[in-house]
Amino acid sequence: MDAVGAEPLVRTAELRISRIQQPPGLRIEGIVDVHTHRHLSGALDVIASVEGDLQLDVSGLEFLDLGGLRLLIGLARTRKPGDHVELAGLAPHLRNVIALVGWDDTPGLRLGDHRVN
């Protein structure tokens, strides 16, 4: 994933989001909660029009609330047929939450390699 030297789309005390080029997508690091949803939503809007598969590297997330997870799932749901959003570096507990609420079958969503805690 290539984000070295990339200017962050979002840089706050809690959240940093940078664009990655290969594969196209975002690296999301820090805390996603009610205070940072608007930042995440804005960054997702930036890449929403990119055609083809997208990757969201979430391996640097310290916390992701349900509202933030809904934003990520929402992006997957808006993809054209055949285009996917891969959640790469997903923590096992988040993978479990996604399965528990039934979002693991969301069209356009791929659960990538998980990170080891």
Q: What's the mean pLDDT when you consider all of the chain?
A: 91
Number of domains the chain contains: 1
Task: Please give the pLDDT value at position 1.
Answer: 45
Predicted confidence band of residue 6 (pLDDT cuts 50, 70, 90):
low
User: CB within 8 A of 9, min separation 6: which ones?
Assistant: 17, 18, 19, 26, 42, 43, 46
Domain of 68, CATH number, reads 3.30.750.24
117: in domain: no
1: in domain: no
Domain span at 33: 8-111
Question: Which pTM value belongs to this model?
Answer: 0.89
